[in-house]
């Protein structure tokens, strides 16, 4: 019986389009160029931030983030950043009695913006607020603390094998790999993902039938 479902953020509930477009504009490079470089680092299995370092070698990403915030060009989220199936799926899960949590590798500011969207979730929290990030085991220890359910009754939903699927599985959670975003599409049929994921889904609406089963 599934009691709690925990969702990753980027490319699981939110689109990353605006995020990368804003970075391209800030670094004064064509949006297509940065988008292509993000795809390249994904294919290499590197962290997305490496795309920024390819555009501007030696860049201090944290310092640039602060500079963007100071210039009024910092993080921003609104309803258009959500995938269309997010609200219906989360609402349906809560109606089934499932505890719904959103917990991903985002900044504290992103946590504030997500909560301002008033998602149908019992808790929205980020790695920046916890002070620990995926794929560290401590992140998933925190996930289990807030899940209020046993690991085998908790599902973590994400697109990123190294950050979501594999470490969540090592922590004893059940996992659902969603085929969306660069990571989700590129690694959907990878043998290790197929072996580790309890479910592979094309959208969040599939989760209600998983719970019902």
pLDDT of residue 46: 83
pLDDT of residue 103: 98
Residue 44 pLDDT exceeds 90: no
pLDDT of residue 188: 93
Strand order in the sheet with 174-178: 123-126, 99-104, 4-7, 154-158, 174-178, 199-201
Residue for token digits 């009754």? Answer: 153
pLDDT of residue 42: 83
Give yes or no for a cis peptide into 135 (omega within 30° of 0). Answer: yes
Q: How confident is the model at residue 95 (pLDDT cuts 50, 70, 90)?
A: very high
Lowest mean pLDDT among 32-46, 58-72, 132-146: 32-46
pLDDT of residue 45: 78
pLDDT of residue 213: 80
**Whether 2 contacts 155, CB under 8 Å:** yes
Q: How confident is the model at residue 50 (pLDDT cuts 50, 70, 90)?
A: very high
Mean of the pLDDT values across residues 50-55? 94
Q: Is the pTM here over 0.85, yes or no?
A: yes
């Amino acid at each position: 019986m599934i009691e709690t479902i925990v969702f990753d953020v980027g490319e699981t509930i939110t689109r990353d389009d605006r995020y990368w477009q804003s970075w391209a504009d800030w670094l004064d490079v064509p949006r297509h160029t940065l988008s292509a470089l993000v795809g390249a680092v994904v294919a290499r299995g590197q962290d997305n931030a490496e795309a920024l370092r390819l555009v501007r070698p030696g860049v201090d990403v944290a310092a640039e983030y602060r500079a963007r915030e100071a210039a009024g060009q910092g993080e921003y989220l609104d309803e258009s950043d959500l995938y269309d199936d997010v609200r219906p799926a989360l609402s349906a899960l809560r109606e089934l009695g499932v505890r719904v949590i959103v917990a991903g590798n985002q900044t504290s500011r992103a946590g504030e913006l997500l909560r301002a969207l008033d998602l149908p979730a019992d808790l929205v929290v980020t790695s920046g607020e916890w002070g620990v990030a995926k794929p560290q085991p401590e992140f998933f220890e925190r996930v289990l603390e807030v899940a209020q359910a046993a690991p085998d009754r908790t599902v973590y939903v994400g697109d990123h094998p190294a950050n979501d699927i594999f470490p969540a599985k090592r922590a004893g959670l059940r996992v659902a790999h969603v085929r969306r975003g660069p990571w989700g599409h590129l690694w959907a049929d990878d043998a290790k993902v197929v072996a580790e994921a309890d479910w592979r889904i094309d959208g969040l609406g599939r989760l209600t039938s998983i719970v019902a089963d």
